[in-house]
Structures are given as structure tokens and as C-alpha cells.
Amino acid sequence: MGIKVVVSFSGGKDSMLSLHKAISLGYEPIALMTTINKNKGDSWFHDISSDLLKQVSLAINIPLLLVECDGENYENTFEIALKNMKNLGAEACIFGDIDIAHHREWGEIRCQNTNLEAIFPLWQGNREALVKEFIELGYKAIIKKVNLNNMSADFLGKTLTHELLKEIEKTGSDVCGENGEYHTFVYDGPIFSKEVLLQNTKNIINENTLLLSTY
């Protein structure tokens, strides 16, 4: 058995690819850990519903820990959840950050404060190469959220493909969306036992952000 890890999990492509790589490296994920905005009931940053996250958890057969928090107590609540995971046997936390230094530092501090190792399987990878690898591995993700300052509403709800990456690049956006141009929801792939479907969707505009929401 490999080192037991908890995965900081958004439900998007980067966290899914980091999970895939962690498994390939021999780590044993004992839980997915997702922060939930307690004022809205959806995940922080990606705005994915708890129900969809639970379906993903079932499809990939890894338990899900939903961590409710607000902006004021986010870090403290995250660390409490990490401590609980450590008590259940986790020795490290997997993060999906690629190359933004302050994001890595944030994860490292949370782990230092809870005596866990912070592991970044995607770190310093080429952004474009990583998103292409994600697609080539057979994962399927839809664009769940777009920043209308960077990309048009036409991208919302589309599945990531090599062709779509070319269209994203034409907008001047980072193809991996690392600057917040878009976020994804992964609904199928090689570690899934079944596809997770988005049903009953509607578009919601929140300031300059367009969301694909379930209801």
C-alpha cells in the first residue's frame, strides 16, 4: 500500500489530473476534500453543487469530505479538516497547482500547520501540455464558469477538446485557464466507473462571471 493522501479537490481538470498522477505514482487517496461556500452551498471558486461532487465521489470510489466555510474562516477551517484527515491516516495532501507560487505557498503553510506533507504532482509542468495530457488521457470536462472579460458566453457548457483549446487560445486567454479565464467540471474519465451528467442547467451571470448552474 502507498502513502495515504487526502486530495484538495475542486472537481475541475487540474485537481482531477493531480489525482490521476498521484494514483499513478502509487499514492493511496483516502478522501477528496472540497471547500463549500456555506452562504451558497456550492464549492468555492468552481461553483459546483454538493450533489454533483457526491456523484463524482461515487463514480471514482473515493470518499468525499465537504468542508463548509466562509471567507473569514477559510484557512482555519481548511486546517481543521486536514487535521481530521491526518487522524484518519493521511500523511500528505495533494494539490493541483501548476506554477503560481503564492498558491503553492498557501498549500504548504496549511500542511506545515497540520504536520502533513504537501504534494504538487503538476508543479512546473507546461500549462498547455498538461491540459492536452488531460484530454488525451480520456477525461471529459465541460466549461462550468467563464470570465466574460476574457471569454464569451459561447464557451459555457462546451466540452474541452483539442479543437476548443485552439478557440480559447484565439481569445488571448491562457489555454489552461490558470489566470481565472474559465473553470471546468470533470464528468468522466479513466478512473470513473460511470459518467456523471449535468442535468437541468441554467446560466447565471454574477458580475463579470457566467456560471452553468444546476437547479
CATH number of the domain enclosing 113: 3.40.50.620
How many domains does the chain fold into? 2
For residues 158 and 57, membership in a common domain is answered with no
Q: For residue 47, give the C-alpha cell.
A: 461553483
Angle separating helix axes 162-170 and 127-136, nearest 10 degrees: 150
For residues 113 and 132, membership in a common domain is answered with no
The strand pairing partners of 7, in sequence order, are: 32, 94
For residues 111 and 165, membership in a common domain is answered with no
For residues 37 and 102, membership in a common domain is answered with yes
Strands 201-206 and 209-214: antiparallel
User: Of 62, 85, 119, which one is at a domain's C-terminal end?
Assistant: 119
- 143 to 5, 38, 129, 154: CA distances (angstroms): 28, 23, 18, 10
Q: Which residue's entry shows cell 470510489?
A: 61
φ, ψ dihedrals at 202, nearest 5°: -145, 160
- 117 to 20, 80, 98, 157: CA distances (angstroms): 18, 15, 17, 36
pLDDT at residue 199 in the model: 75
For residues 108 and 206, membership in a common domain is answered with no
For residues 64 and 23, membership in a common domain is answered with yes
- CA–CA gap between residue 176 and residue 128 (Å, rounded): 6
Give the whole-number percent of the chain exceeding pLDDT 90.
82
Task: Give me the domain span that covers residue 205.
Answer: 127-214
Strands 28-37 and 117-119: unpaired
User: Of 85, 119, 153, which one is at a domain's C-terminal end?
Assistant: 119
Query: Which residue ranges of the chain lie beneath pLDDT 50?
Result: 215
pLDDT at residue 200 in the model: 61
For residues 50 and 99, membership in a common domain is answered with yes
- CA–CA gap between residue 3 and residue 63 (Å, rounded): 17
For residues 96 and 200, membership in a common domain is answered with no
For residues 147 and 203, membership in a common domain is answered with yes
CATH number for 148: 3.90.1490.10
For residues 90 and 146, membership in a common domain is answered with no
For residues 10 and 112, membership in a common domain is answered with yes
Which of helix, strand or coil describes residue 137? coil
User: Of 119, 144, 178, which one is at a domain's C-terminal end?
Assistant: 119
For residues 101 and 194, membership in a common domain is answered with no
pLDDT at residue 215 in the model: 42
